[in-house]
Amino acid sequence: MFSRSASRTFTQSRQFSSSAARQTKVAVLGAGGGIGQPLSLLLKQNKLVTSLNLYDIRGAPGVAADVSHIDSPSKVTGYPADQLDQALEGVKVVVIPAGVPRKPGMTRDDLFNTNASIVRDLAAAVARVSPEAHLLIISNPVNSTVPIVSETLKKAGVYNPQRVFGVTTLDVVRAARFLSEVTGAHPDECKVTVVGGHSGSTIVPLLSQIAHGKGVKGETYDKLVHRIQFGGDEVVKAKDGAGSATLSMAYAGAKFADALLRGLSGEKGVVTPTFVKSDLFAQEGIEYFSSNVELGVNGVENIHPLGPLSAEEEKLLAACLPDLKKNIEKGEAFAAQS
């Protein structure tokens, strides 16, 4: 059993093939969508990606033809609705932004009924065709879709918790930007660790852990925390029915994919928050949690402890845990019935 102060290290094989690293095939499932298109554009520019397979039930061949003209070495292939298995052949990393986005007035949990089965079916295909792939889950509600993917892989007998990630990078990106707006400091000096999950009260920014964050107090602190927790709502409201964050999410998804690819290729010290199977709160019955994770040749190498929390952060964490637990259990219950 792990305590919050313990760090978790995976001790599986650290064998690393440099030729495998040079051949990194990445698939995007949902590549025709608001996130999928700009994410594919950004991944085409990543030197660690050698092949890019773009799949969607609508429009992926067109997106692929367009992106393929960009003058970077990777090969881009588009796959229509009936070619999911072909899109997954030999892939090392699968990024999943497939699913419906929110409209004003909706919570991320309101997307569950539609997105749960989309994510389950895509995970089942990954289990069948590319069981060793690393899965990056963007589709909401992330707090539930990550357990659904994990349970689906378990059923297929191919689950490895080191290879399943909920992408919470947009919360980290927002925290850096919003803190820089409050303090006037450069966003690079405002790198806030954001832990917990990816929705409202489950998003817990640890502002006290960095120099520019610890000075923010009172009403300014409360407003900043609220903005980080509910930044997604700002975009949903401004888009007025046309969806949720796509461009900033594509940026965040590409940033996380790059971190993972660097870890997989042998770079040391790649650490970023992500929502993974974690023992940090297992005693509270919470199996998945986002915290700083070291990424390496096997995916998750080491889950960092949370570190010291302020009194305010302890309160935020106390509010996060029950909501997060419910979201995770909902995903697990869905997968169990499927």
- Member of 35, 204, 210, 264 binding ligand NAD (CB under 6 A): 35
* 8 A C-beta contact, residue 143 and residue 222: no
Q: Is 99 in the site for ligand NAD (CB under 6 A)?
A: yes
Contact mark string toward ligand LMR, 224..243, x via CB under 6 A: --------x--xx-------
Is residue 222 part of an annotated ligand binding site? no
In whole angstroms, the minimum distance from the beta carbon of 19 to ligand NAD comes to 30
What x-and-dash track marks residues 120-149 binding ligand NAD by CB under 6 A? --x---------------xxx-x-------
Candidate list 95, 164, 167, 170; residue touching ligand LMR; CB under 6 A: 170
- Least gap, CB of 97 to ligand NAD (angstroms): 5
DSSP H or E stretch at residue 300: strand 299-303
Is 134 designated active site?
A: no
Q: What angle do CA 214, 7, 159 make, to 5 degrees?
A: 120
d(CA 199, CA 91): 30
143 is annotated as contributing to ligand binding: no
Kindly indicate which of the ranges 69-77, 210-218, 238-246, 301-309 contains the residues binding ligand NAD, using the contact rule CB under 6 A. Answer: 238-246
- Within 10 angstroms of residue 237's Cβ, the number of other Cβ atoms is 13
Pick 211 or 242: Cβ nearer ligand NAD: 242
Please say whether the beta carbons of 279 and 293 come within 8 A.
no
Name which position in 21, 32, 151, 229 contacts ligand NAD (CB under 6 A).
Answer: 32
Give the SS3 label for residue 304. Answer: coil
How many whole angstroms from its chain centre is CA 96?
9
Binding to ligand NAD (CB under 6 A) within 58-87 occurs at: 58
| CA 65 distance to own-chain centroid | 26
Which range, of 12-20, 48-56, 100-108, 277-285, touches ligand LMR by CB under 6 A?
100-108
First to last CA, the chain: 29
Pairing of strands 25-29, 51-55: parallel
Which residue, among 27, 163, 169, has the nearest Cα to 94 in the 3D structure? Answer: 27
> Which residue number is nearest to ligand LMR in terms of Cβ?
232
Cα distances (angstroms) measured from residue 99 to each of 35, 58, 146, 269: 10, 12, 14, 33
Q: Quick check: 325 binds ligand LMR (CB under 6 A)?
A: no
The binder of 235, among ligand NAD, ligand LMR, none, by C-beta within 5 to 8 A per type, is ligand LMR
97: contact with ligand NAD by CB under 6 A = yes
Determine if residue 1 is labeled as part of a ligand binding site.
no
Q: What is the DSSP string of 54-90?
A: EE-SSSHHHHHHHHTTSSSS-EEEEE-GGGHHHHHTT
- Collect all residues with Cβ–Cβ distance below 8 Å to 102 and sequence separation of at least 6: 108, 110, 111, 140, 232, 236, 243, 244
From the candidates 69, 198, 212, 226, give the one annotated as an active-site residue: 198
Q: Which residues bind ligand NAD (CB under 6 A)?
A: 29-30, 32-36, 56-58, 97-102, 111, 115, 118, 122, 138-140, 142, 167, 170, 198, 243-246, 249
In the annotated binding site, the residues are 30-36, 56, 102, 108, 115, 138-140, 174, 249
Q: Which residues bind ligand LMR (CB under 6 A)?
A: 101-102, 108, 140, 170, 232, 235-236, 244-245
